[in-house]
């Protein structure tokens, strides 16, 4: 079946066309129009500016996605759109556009939870045959940090989550403290990866909740530790070596905790697959460390990590989640009228 995926929950206007048959996926087009430069001067995403930009871009982006795929609206079998969570003004542009096109083209519409999309980004991979249930998912994004168990498709049990900041949020806040600009995560990662290895400043940060018996996380204190350390000697902020060492220690602290808890959760729940999902899955250190750690500690478990293109916000992940939701629907009759009352996963507690 042919699916148009749409995503406008934050600062990316995205449209993709996917051909999916028997769970085998072909991404015919994947267009992402980023607003990074627009928001950079504000140090973060401004919701109303994002909405205005989505409004300007959404139809050209959809048109380009269809054109690149060589498909016409009448070829489509389904439209899938992110309808939460995210910035409300931004989400409204995507959902209103999707509803209008569904009405106009008489194509069924499905609303997708953004994090469900991130999880299903792993199902675009050509390693789909290795994706076996039960799955343990480590979700790391700007708004979510969770460990979830999936016994089957579209079923989620949260077994641990952050009690304060999400991991991406912590990366962004640390970038702000160190004046590295927006978007913060990639900037912190870049400095961390450039670390020479010489601990000139002897920076050590805590590994919050590493030893706690549950599978929860906490990153707020870690960010505060960075703040206090830099406040003590503000002149260090001018030194690239200091920034690099701080970023490296922060990234190591975060990845140490994320991975230790994932491995411990896996030992308890014995999943067949561990998957990584969310924007922070673009972090190279996390990708490498998780893969290695699964290989070393869990003999019969496959570790899957989304391709970089599908790690960050995109609409191919929304389209593929739409495919599995559609497949799961018992009664598809009358679905051409879903622009009135769309079937949605947005209320999931993910």
- Which residues, 6 or more positions from 115, have their beta carbon under 8 angstroms from its beta carbon? 85, 139, 141, 144, 146, 277, 278, 348, 350
Nearer to Zn ion (CB atom), residue 287 or residue 339: 287
Q: What is the DSSP letter of 198?
A: -
Minimum distance, C-beta of residue 77 to Zn ion, in the bound complex (Å): 25
Nearer to ligand KG4 (CB atom), residue 282 or residue 319: 282
Site map 141..170 versus Zn ion, x via CB under 5 A? x-----------------------------
- Continuous segment of H or E residues that includes residue 330: none
Minimum distance, C-beta of residue 277 to ligand KG4, in the bound complex (Å): 8
Q: What are phi and psi of 205, to 5 degrees?
A: -115, 155
Note whether 81 and 6 are within 8 A (CB).
yes
Minimum distance, C-beta of residue 83 to ligand KG4, in the bound complex (Å): 14
Nearer to Zn ion (CB atom), residue 279 or residue 322: 279
Task: Tell me how far apart the alpha carbons of residues 90 and 98 are, in angstroms, rounded to a whole number.
Answer: 13
The separation between the first and the last C-alpha atoms of the chain, rounded to the nearest angstrom, is: 27
Q: Which residue is at the shortest CB distance from ligand KG4?
A: 279
Nearer to Zn ion (CB atom), residue 208 or residue 279: 279
Quick one: tokens of 42? 């504000």
Task: Tell me how far apart the alpha carbons of residues 221 and 193 are, in angstroms, rounded to a whole number.
Answer: 23
Quick one: tokens of 128? 């789909």
- Which residues of this protein are in contact with ligand KG4, per CB under 6 A? 10, 114, 118, 141-143, 168-169, 171-172, 183-186, 189, 278-280, 282-283, 312-313
Indicate which of Zn ion, ligand KG4, none lies near residue 261 (CB less than 5 to 8 Å, by partner kind). none
Nearer to ligand KG4 (CB atom), residue 132 or residue 190: 190
Minimum distance, C-beta of residue 144 to ligand KG4, in the bound complex (Å): 7
Indicate which of ligand KG4, Zn ion, none lies near residue 117 (CB less than 5 to 8 Å, by partner kind). none
Question: Which of 218-226, 247-255, 276-284, 326-334 is the region at the interface with Zn ion (rule: CB under 5 A)?
Answer: 276-284
Rounded to whole angstroms, what are the CA distances from 133 to 158, 268, 274?
16, 15, 10
Nearer to ligand KG4 (CB atom), residue 277 or residue 298: 277
Quick one: tokens of 6? 């749409």
Task: Tell me how far apart the alpha carbons of residues 123 and 304 are, in angstroms, rounded to a whole number.
Answer: 10
Minimum distance, C-beta of residue 345 to Zn ion, in the bound complex (Å): 15
Of 313, 314, 339, 342, the one binding Zn ion by CB under 5 A:
313
Question: Which of 183-191, 263-271, 289-297, 311-319 is the region at the interface with Zn ion (rule: CB under 5 A)?
Answer: 311-319
Task: Tell me how far apart the alpha carbons of residues 89 and 48 are, in angstroms, rounded to a whole number.
Answer: 6
Nearer to ligand KG4 (CB atom), residue 316 or residue 335: 316
Place of tokens 């792993």: 122
Nearer to ligand KG4 (CB atom), residue 172 or residue 245: 172
Q: For strand 157-161 and strand 145-150, is the pairing parallel, antiparallel, or unpaired?
A: antiparallel
Question: Which of 40-48, 169-177, 278-286, 295-303 is the region at the interface with Zn ion (rule: CB under 5 A)?
Answer: 278-286
Minimum distance, C-beta of residue 321 to ligand KG4, in the bound complex (Å): 13
Minimum distance, C-beta of residue 105 to ligand KG4, in the bound complex (Å): 28
Minimum distance, C-beta of residue 323 to Zn ion, in the bound complex (Å): 19
- For 181-218, b/e burial (b = at least 16 CB within 10 A) is ebbbbbbbbebbeebeeeeebebebeebbeeeeebbbb
Binding site for Zn ion (CB under 5 A): 141, 279, 313
């Amino acid at each position: 079946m042919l699916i148009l995926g749409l995503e406008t929950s934050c600062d990316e206007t995205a449209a993709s066309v996917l051909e999916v048959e028997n769970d085998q996926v072909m991404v015919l087009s994947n267009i992402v129009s980023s607003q990074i430069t627009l928001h950079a001067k504000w140090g973060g995403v401004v919701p109303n500016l994002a909405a205005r930009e989505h409004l300007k871009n959404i139809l050209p982006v959809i048109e380009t996605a269809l054109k690149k795929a060589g498909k016409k609206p009448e070829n489509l079998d389904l439209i899938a759109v992110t309808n939460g969570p995210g910035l409300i003004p931004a989400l409204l542009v995507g959902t209103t556009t999707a509803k209008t096109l569904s009405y106009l083209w008489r194509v069924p519409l499905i609303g997708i939870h953004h994090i469900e999309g991130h999880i299903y980004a792993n199902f675009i991979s050509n390693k789909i045959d290795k994706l076996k249930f039960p799955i343990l998912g480590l979700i790391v994004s700007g708004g979510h940090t969770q460990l979830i168990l999936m016994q089957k498709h579209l079923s989620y049990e949260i077994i641990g989550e952050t009690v304060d900041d999400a991991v991406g949020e912590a990366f962004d806040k640390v970038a702000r403290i160190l004046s590295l600009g927006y978007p913060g995560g990639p900037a912190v990662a870049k400095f961390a990866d450039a670390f020479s290895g010489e601990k000139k400043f002897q920076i050590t940060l805590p590994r919050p909740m590493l030893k706690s018996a549950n599978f929860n996380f906490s990153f707020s204190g870690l960010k505060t530790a960075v703040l206090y350390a830099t406040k003590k000697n503000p002149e260090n902020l001018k030194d690239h070596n200091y920034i690099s060492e701080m970023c490296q220690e922060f990234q190591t602290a975060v990845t140490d905790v994320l991975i230790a808890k994932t491995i411990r959760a896996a030992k308890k729940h014995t999943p067949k697959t561990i998957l990584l999902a969310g924007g922070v899955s673009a972090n190279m250190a996390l990708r490498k460390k998780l893969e290695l750690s699964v290989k070393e500690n869990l003999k019969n478990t496959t570790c899957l990590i989304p391709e970089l293109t599908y790690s960050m916000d995109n609409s191919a992940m929304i389209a593929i989640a739409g495919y599995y939701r559609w497949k799961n629907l018992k009664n598809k009759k009358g679905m051409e009228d879903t622009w009135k009352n769309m079937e949605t996963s947005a209320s999931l507690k993910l």
